[in-house]
């Protein structure tokens, strides 16, 4: 049994809390948040861009800590799950590692690439595991797409499109998501999902070419972006993300990937399930796992901790690469130039 302490009870904190309830090998033993209301179990005002926030929770059997340091010192905690705003991920991840805890941190890994290196070094020095929750690698439709591509059953990928569109996230504490210095904007907070998946499937690109919208719903953030990921020998890969959609639009994501012998599509908003259109005229709908990516990723991390093994799905270096590429994309938008990544 892996004992988990969650640091930060916002939208992602509640998502992780409920995901752990679905796995018998993990138990949430402690919580920490600066807001006393969160530690009372009243989460009714918590919202996000997908369903699952809000409600109330029974915390009667859980250690409640007002200070992060007390959570790190709790002997009934094996791993600290950090679901705080991005700009403090590195600070608290390093502190938890130095306190002898394994760490699971929400994505993005940090606000600056240098901080990622500091986190990795702290994990090595402490001899503890450091995981970053890039959930799209575990999201059922995307994980299934990766298997289809890797199988080479339908040949190589020729062209790929990914998209992720959200209403403006006005729900964040102190409106931190609209502050580029604290969130990195839509590129680092939202678009990084698809950038990381592109890295996962195709490798880190040689360079990025991006256009976008700056300061539309924020002061200086890149609020919308379209990126072409450049590889020496293809394929042609493009991803678009924005958080400038109207409030009633909600949220959607999806992809359309053209291989030599098939086209694979999925669109969350239209309800289009993962569908394979083959070159021979068949339309197939492969079986896709029913659990969500949060449950799958946290189960994987818990299994790695319990078994003392490294993740074969996402590493801290992968998370560092995702941030490095997204920051290059933001630079490309603001300079109007193609930006080298490696």
Question: pLDDT tens across 25-45, in order?
Answer: 999 999 999 999 999 998 988
Q: Looking at the structure, do residues 97 and 141 belong to the same domain, yes or no?
A: no
268, part of any domain: yes
273, part of any domain: yes
Structural domain boundaries, residue 66: 2-133+296-308
Q: Looking at the structure, do residues 109 and 198 belong to the same domain, yes or no?
A: no
Give the mean pLDDT of 155-169.
98
Q: Looking at the structure, do residues 113 and 37 belong to the same domain, yes or no?
A: yes
pLDDT for residue 305 is more than 70: yes
Q: Looking at the structure, do residues 326 and 201 belong to the same domain, yes or no?
A: yes
99, part of any domain: yes
Q: Looking at the structure, do residues 106 and 147 belong to the same domain, yes or no?
A: no
Give the mean pLDDT of 98-109.
99
Residue 210 main-chain phi, psi, to 5 deg: -135, 145
Q: What is the pLDDT of residue 71?
A: 99
pLDDT for residue 50 is more than 90: no
What's the rounded Cα separation, in Å, for the pair 131 and 322?
A: 14
Q: How many CB atoms lie within 10 A of CB 55?
A: 12
Give the mean pLDDT of 3-16.
96
283, part of any domain: yes
Give the mean pLDDT of 320-342.
98
**Average pLDDT in the chain:** 96
pLDDT band of 291, cuts 50, 70, 90: confident
> If DSSP codes are grouped into helix, strand and coil, which group holds residue 9?
coil
Q: What is the pLDDT of residue 8?
A: 97
Q: What is the pLDDT of residue 342?
A: 78
228-259 pLDDT, tens digit each = 999 999 899 999 999 999 999 999 999 999 99
Q: Which CATH number characterizes residue 280's domain?
A: 3.30.360.10
Angle ∠(301,302,303) on CA atoms, nearest 5 = 90
Q: Looking at the structure, do residues 70 and 52 belong to the same domain, yes or no?
A: yes
184, part of any domain: yes
315, part of any domain: no
Q: What is the pLDDT of residue 56?
A: 86
pLDDT band of 129, cuts 50, 70, 90: very high
Q: Which CATH number characterizes residue 62's domain?
A: 3.40.50.720
pLDDT band of 51, cuts 50, 70, 90: low
Q: Looking at the structure, do residues 223 and 336 belong to the same domain, yes or no?
A: yes
pLDDT for residue 131 is more than 70: yes
Give the mean pLDDT of 56-75.
96
Domain count for the chain, please give it. Answer: 2
Burial 174-187 (b: 16+ CB within 10 A, else e): eebbbbbebbbbbb
pLDDT band of 55, cuts 50, 70, 90: confident
Give the mean pLDDT of 139-153.
98
Burial 6-43 (b: 16+ CB within 10 A, else e): bbbbbbbbbbbbbbbeeeeebbbbbbbbeeeebbebbb
Q: What is the pLDDT of residue 44?
A: 87
174-190 pLDDT, tens digit each = 999 999 999 999 999 99
Q: Looking at the structure, do residues 197 and 175 belong to the same domain, yes or no?
A: yes
**Percent of the chain, pLDDT > 90?**
93
Q: Looking at the structure, do residues 108 and 151 belong to the same domain, yes or no?
A: no
Q: What is the pLDDT of residue 47?
A: 79
66, part of any domain: yes
pLDDT for residue 204 is more than 90: yes
Give the mean pLDDT of 184-203.
99
Q: Looking at the structure, do residues 268 and 300 belong to the same domain, yes or no?
A: no
Q: What is the pLDDT of residue 52?
A: 62
pLDDT band of 53, cuts 50, 70, 90: low
316, part of any domain: no
Q: Looking at the structure, do residues 103 and 224 belong to the same domain, yes or no?
A: no
Q: Looking at the structure, do residues 163 and 236 belong to the same domain, yes or no?
A: yes
């Amino acid at each position: 049994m892996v004992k988990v302490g969650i640091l930060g009870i916002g939208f992602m904190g509640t998502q992780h809390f409920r995901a752990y309830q679905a796995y018998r090998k993990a138990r949430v033993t402690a919580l920490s948040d600066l807001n006393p209301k969160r530690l009372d179990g009243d989460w009714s005002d918590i919202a996000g861009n997908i369903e699952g926030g809000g409600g109330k929770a029974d915390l009667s059997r859980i250690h409640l800590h007002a200070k992060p340091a007390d959570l790190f010192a709790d002997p009934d905690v094996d791993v600290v799950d950090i679901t705080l705003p991005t700009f403090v991920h590195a600070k608290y991840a390093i502190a938890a590692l130095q306190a002898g805890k394994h760490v699971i941190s929400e994505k993005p890994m940090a606000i600056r690439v240098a901080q990622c290196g500091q986190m990795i070094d702290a994990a090595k020095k402490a001899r503890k595991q450091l995981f970053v929750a890039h959930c799209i690698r575990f999201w059922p439709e995307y994980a299934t797409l990766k298997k289809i591509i890797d199988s080479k059953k339908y040949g190589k990928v020729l062209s790929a499109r990914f998209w992720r569109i959200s209403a403006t996230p006005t729900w964040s504490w102190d409106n931190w998501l609209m502050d580029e210095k604290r969130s990195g904007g839509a590129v680092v907070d939202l678009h990084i999902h698809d950038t990381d998946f592109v890295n996962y499937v195709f490798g880190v690109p040689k360079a990025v070419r991006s256009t976008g919208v700056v300061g539309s719903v924020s002061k200086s953030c890149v609020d919308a972006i379209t990126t072409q990921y450049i590889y020496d020998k293809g394929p042609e890969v493009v991803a678009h993300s924005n958080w400038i959609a109207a409030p009633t639009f909600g949220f959607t994501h999806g992809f359309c990937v053209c291989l030599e012998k098939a086209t694979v599509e999925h669109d969350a908003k239209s309800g289009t399930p993962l569908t394979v259109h083959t070159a021979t005229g068949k339309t197939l709908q492969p079986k896709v796992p029913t659990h969500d990516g949060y449950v799958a990723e946290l189960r994987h991390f818990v299994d790695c901790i319990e078994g003392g093994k490294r993740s074969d799905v996402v590493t801290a270096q992968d998370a560092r690469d995702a941030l490095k590429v997204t920051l290059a994309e933001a630079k490309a938008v603001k300079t109007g130039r193609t930006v080298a990544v490696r």
